[in-house]
Amino acid sequence: MFNNIGLPGLLLIAVVVLVLFGRGKVSTLMGEVGKGITAFKKGVSEGTAELDAAKAETAKDVTPAEKDKV
């Protein structure tokens, strides 16, 4: 559907958005989008770290104790 918009079409869309919402509103919206992306990346990295910690917890030393050695 959007395969053939091209640069002139994107510029026209950008101008229409600026006219409708104004520069301040658009910059505020883009700032919020940036904060959302940053929060998402932070959440993903924390989740990955949590999963790695859980894997490390379950993969502890499995060597037999002294009493189990033959």
In a domain, 34, yes or no: yes
The model's pLDDT over 4-26, given as tens digits with 9 standing for 90+, comes to 888 889 899 989 988 988 888 88
Examine the pLDDT at 53 and tell me if it is beyond 70. yes
Question: Dihedrals φ, ψ of 60, to 5°?
Answer: -75, 180
Helix axes 23-58, 6-21, angle to 10 degrees: 110
Comparing 60 with 19, which gets the higher pLDDT?
19
Residue 70 located in a structural domain: no
Which pLDDT belongs to residue 1?
57
Find the length of the chain: 70
Domain that holds residue 30: 22-52
Query: What is the rounded distance in angstroms from the CA atom of residue 35 to the CA atom of residue 40?
Result: 9
- Is residue 47 situated within a structural domain? yes
For residue 44, name the pLDDT band (cuts at 50, 70, 90): very high
Domain membership of residue 64 (yes or no) is no
Is residue 14 assigned to a domain? Answer: no
Q: How far apart are CA 18 and CA 25, in angstroms?
A: 9
Spell out the alpha helix ranges (H) of the chain.
6-21, 23-58
**Model pTM score:** 0.55
